[in-house]
Structure 1
Amino acid sequence: MTSIPVISFVGKSESGKTTLLEKVIRELKLKGIKLAIIKHDAHRFEIDHPGKDTWRHGQAGADIVAISSPEKMAIIEKREQELTLDEVIERISPVDIIITEGYSQGKKPKIEVFRSEAHQKLLCPTGELLAIASDIPWEIGVPCYQIDDAVGVASEIEKYIRTFRNKK
């Protein structure tokens, strides 16, 4: 089990998760917080480009292909089955917080992004929610922020980081 706090941003497609998360990341970085993002993709994604060296290495049969430069590094690993969220988390280097986008079925605290045009009801039970970012008000016992309130949501995440550290 990781000693890094983890929060999942969840919501239906087109609810604004990525847009809000981009703004929250910027707010947290302004406060000096080191963070990792894990994006869940239920579909097949591709970060390698046909014809490029790393793609060619994978096509030739390499099970793991790594590419490294002075600015970044990526590892592409072929899998027979999807890793669990906890298995992905264990591969993350020390950061102050790990934020996932997706993983609505996971057991991590969640910030639900709710847009009334995309939702009929909340996806998550109240007990799983750390907060809600919504275009309509909610009175369900958890903090509710406007859907574009990145400062407020980032502040909620900072509180969670402090609480998590104090429990250790």
Structure 2
Amino acid sequence: MIPIVSIVGMSNSGKTTLVEKLVAELTRRGFRVATIKHNRHGFEIDHEGKDSWRHKQAGAVATVLASPGRIALIEDAAKDYDLIEIRDLYIRNVDIILAEGYKKNPHPKIEVFRAELMRERLCGPGENLIALAGDRPVSSEALWFDWNDAAGLSDLIVERFLSKKG
């Protein structure tokens, strides 16, 4: 089973930057990483006038774009899938999934905390918080890392979720 770790935090707290750093560090160490980004507002990656867009407009419920080095699926979703469903339906051949967002999910979480943006943390006791990454230490039952310490956070991820693979 592919482990999932969520990177959570307030808007503009630095989640995407931390995910980028963790992906780069874990990849450098030889792990294959997938990411999932939650977007509660919806999104569009297809472009009007393109062939794939025309297929969808004609009524296709799913369109696959395939090239020699890349594949993408655009599919209508009947609901907001949870991380387990996304993993089980779409992701394979990776060692770990880093999810950006999904703060209400039960999976292990790293919370990005910027003191200037937040008065209190998002994750409370019992919410599977494994670490805080921020601009300054805060008291917590979870481990604290400077948000630039991708190596230290990656050490934690490897130890907790990938030690049998690496």
Question: What is the TM-score with the length of structure 2 in the denominator?
Answer: 0.93
**1:70-149 alignment, distance < 5 Å:** 70-91=68-89, 92-127=91-126, 128-149=128-149
Aligned-partner SS, 1:117: coil
Cα distance, 1:138 vs structure 2: 2.2
Identify which range, 154-163 or 127-136, moves more after superposition.
154-163
Counterpart of 1:27 in structure 2 is 25
2:45 is the counterpart of 1:47:
yes
Deviations 1:108-127 (A, max 9, x none): 00000001122111101243
Q: Is the 8 A contact 1:131 1:142 kept in 2?
A: yes
Distance in 2, Cα, partners of 1:96 & 1:79: 26
RMSD: 1.4
Gapped regions of structure 1 (runs ≥ 5): none
Shift >4 Å, 4+ stretches: none
Mapped to 2, the partners of 1:20 and 1:80 lie a distance apart of 31
1:83, CA displacement in angstroms? 1.6
Query: Does the 8 Å contact 2:19/2:98 carry over to 1?
Result: no
TM-score normalised by structure 1 residue count: 0.92
1:49 is paired with a residue whose SS is: coil
Query: Is the Cα–Cα contact under 8 Å of residues 58 and 65 in structure 1 kept in the other structure?
Result: yes
- Aligned residues: percent identity? 44
Instruction: Give the distance between the partners of 1:46 and 1:155, measured in 2 at CA.
Output: 35
Secondary structure of 1:90's aligned partner: helix
What's the offset of the Cα at 1:65? Answer: 0.3
Q: Distance in 2 between matches of 1:72 and 1:100?
A: 21
Letter of the 1:57 counterpart: H
1:13 and 2:11 correspond: yes
